Amino acid sequence: MTSADPTLAVRVIPCLDVAAGRVVKGVNFLDLRDAGDPVELARTYYEQGADEITFLDVTATVDERATMYEVVRATAEQVFIPLTVGGGVRSTDDVARLQAAGADKIGINSAAIGRPDLVGEIADRFGAQAVVLSLDVKRSTRTPSGFVVTTHGGRTETDLDALEWAREAVERGAGELLVNSIDADGTREGFDLELVGLMRGVSRVPVVASGGAGSVEHFAPAIEAGADAVLAASVFHTGQLTVDDVKRELAASGILVRRSQEHS
């Protein structure tokens, strides 16, 4: 199995799932609970040494509305690391507005499944590095790989094999894969290492592992399975772990990380 490039520093990425302007967190994408103010949390993670911040507006597609421009703008004024924003993005004009608000990379999921040409349109206009394919994946016996892609915040199963869709999206111009395991989400039982490894095997672009982090020991195995970056939410929101805790454990495991720095 091909692994992530050991000469590149692994990224540690806090994820803020946002609904109605507040950070929320649930289990298996359900039973969402309030977890705080998105701008305040993003600032905290920046100060802890986060390499990037990911915002996912988890109800924008379900509610058929635009994503959270004001939250992105306020965060970009205080947080000077890359911001990835997803949820409710349906066109290149949506991407332009998000980048004007301060987003660096754009996560797309449901709209790209509905119209795959969107992947290439965004890549052509803004560059592949701006396109993050967000895959909300469930285990399934209906697909050859054993994994199926879902849409609308994990609420709707498609007929797409997760690996085939990832491969196609990369060919169309996606510059990164954000692989969210719905089965592992919020369980704190560890990343789905099989899923990470399979995605690494079909992708020539970076793979971000998401879903299931529950302890500091869970992160290194995801990198060893092939992830280029690790993303977590609830363990950071509750204060159970800090970004620096994760980086220290990764470094102790012999994994190259960017050194956490205090920001004034």
Instruction: Enumerate the active-site residues.
Output: 17, 136
d(CA 114, CA 63): 16
**236: which 2 tokens?**
């950071």
**53: which 2 tokens?**
């911040």
Which long-range contacts (C-beta less than 8 Å, at least 24 apart) are formed by 85-88? 85/54, 85/55, 85/56, 85/57, 86/54, 86/55, 86/56, 86/57, 86/132, 86/134, 86/178, 87/18, 87/55, 87/56, 87/57, 87/58, 87/59, 87/60, 87/61, 88/57, 88/60, 88/61
